[in-house]
Amino acid sequence: MIIGLVRPMPVIIVMRIIAGLLSAIPYTIIGGSIEDMFNCRGRIWAMYYWTIASNIGLVIGPILSSFIIAALDWRWNFYVFAIMIASITVALFFIRESRPSLLLADEVKKVTSLTTVDSIPPPLNHDHIPDLHAFVRESLLRPVQLFFREPILFLVAMMIAVSMSLIYIFTQALQPIFESMGFKETDASLIFIAIALGTLLSAFTRVLDEYILNYLRKKGRTIKPEHKLVGLALGGPTLAIGLWWFAWTIPPDVRTPWIVPALSLVLVGYALTELDTVLYGYISDSYLSYSASASAAIAFMRALLSGTFPLFTDQMFDGLGNNVAMSVLAAVATAFCVVPPLFIIYGERIRQASKFARYSWEMQQELGKDEDDF
């Protein structure tokens, strides 16, 4: 709201920094919250719903902004979204605690109050308010430690950050491309609907994941995080194909009907959702109690690259041309295609060599939880 109301640029910059800081909170806590509330099977759909909500929000944003600016003023962008966020904030007052250790502590208090037994020991609870030293070590340094010391997290963070930054690049690049094909500015923004359609198609892959888990369960096999990487195997090549397709069906070097490059964006939307859903789910399954810290590292890299890429998008497309600039992005996506087989074949071995991932898995085994619980 302040960004829309004020005029001085320094104030706007400070408010943008604060807005960015606050908007990072959901990405930081979502992995841990989903790990708290859902088992291995449930996390398939929980991560998918979270991903499509965030990704569809990203692609609807440019559409809403274009029409709001055309009808009113750029400042109304911030007013409208402030109203939306205020509504979400009211809803959050009704959310319930999901942390198992806190829930257990509350149950012990209730039981103690209903009995004459006063010797029930309180459960071990690590969720106390830490001192400054513990806060810095656990909340600030642990995500950095995980990012640089855990090969799984480093690869996942970089892959998510680079691939999801494409949407921010498209925010600046797509409308001019389709305007050159005869679209008006507001109509050109509607091309983001193609990405949203691809996002929804990921539901079919989640059904496939469900089928695979049921098959493994019937066979009596232990379900491992690598068993849910089918979407990654499909999403990596699909992203590369979609970007190469888009790169060489757009002006100026190629003149094709607008529907041809638009269809390629459906593939891109599907692939981005698969990478986001599967990789976040893989981190949640692999790091369990450390998943919030792992998600914080991913969120930081994603925010850093998403904020940096638009700074040179115009220069990149103006200097190289639409076709070559998109080909550069397609080449990066092609390089990512080596990650799915790497994780599928060697993922378990890499996890065992990773300190935090190995510890999380060992603790899960010691607690005696089976594949339906972890």
| Span 31-89, pLDDT tens digits | 667 777 887 677 777 878 887 888 888 888 889 999 999 888 889 999 999 999 999 88
pLDDT band, very low/low/confident/very high, at 320 (cuts 50, 70, 90): very high
Task: Average the pLDDT over 19-38 and give the result.
Answer: 76
Domain membership flag for residue 154: yes
Domain membership flag for residue 126: no
Domain membership flag for residue 374: no
Task: Average the pLDDT over 328-340 and give the result.
Answer: 92
Domain membership flag for residue 127: no
Which domain does 266 fall in, by range?
2-114+142-366
Q: Is the pLDDT of residue 374 over 60?
A: no
**Is this structure's pTM higher than 0.95?**
no
Domain membership flag for residue 124: no
pLDDT band, very low/low/confident/very high, at 194 (cuts 50, 70, 90): very high
d(CA 102, CA 126): 9
d(CA 373, CA 276): 23
CB contact at 8 A, 50 and 37: no
CATH code of residue 226:
1.20.1250.20
Domain membership flag for residue 362: yes
| Span 123-162, pLDDT tens digits | 555 556 667 777 776 677 888 888 888 888 888 888 888 8
How many domains is the chain partitioned into structurally? 1
CB contact at 8 A, 254 and 326: no
pLDDT of 128 reads: 61
d(CA 226, CA 55): 24
- Closest among 27, 82, 70 to 292, alpha carbons compared: 27
Q: Is the pLDDT of residue 206 over 70?
A: yes
Q: Which of 217-226, 258-267, 364-373 has the lowest mean pLDDT?
A: 364-373
Looking at every residue in the chain, the average pLDDT score rounds to 84
Cα three-residue angle 342-215-365, rounded to 5 degrees: 65
pLDDT band, very low/low/confident/very high, at 249 (cuts 50, 70, 90): very high
Domain membership flag for residue 371: no
pLDDT of 123 reads: 57
d(CA 362, CA 180): 57
Q: Is the pLDDT of residue 239 over 90?
A: yes
pLDDT band, very low/low/confident/very high, at 117 (cuts 50, 70, 90): low
Q: Is the pLDDT of residue 373 over 70?
A: no
d(CA 374, CA 364): 7
Find how far residue 85's CA is from the centre of its chain.
Answer: 19
Q: Which residues of 317-348 are buried (b: 16+ CB within 10 A; e: fewer)?
A: beeeebbebbbebbeebbebbebbeebeeebb
Q: Which residue has the higher pLDDT, 233 or 108?
A: 233
Domain membership flag for residue 134: no
* Structure token pair of residue 15: 């408010």
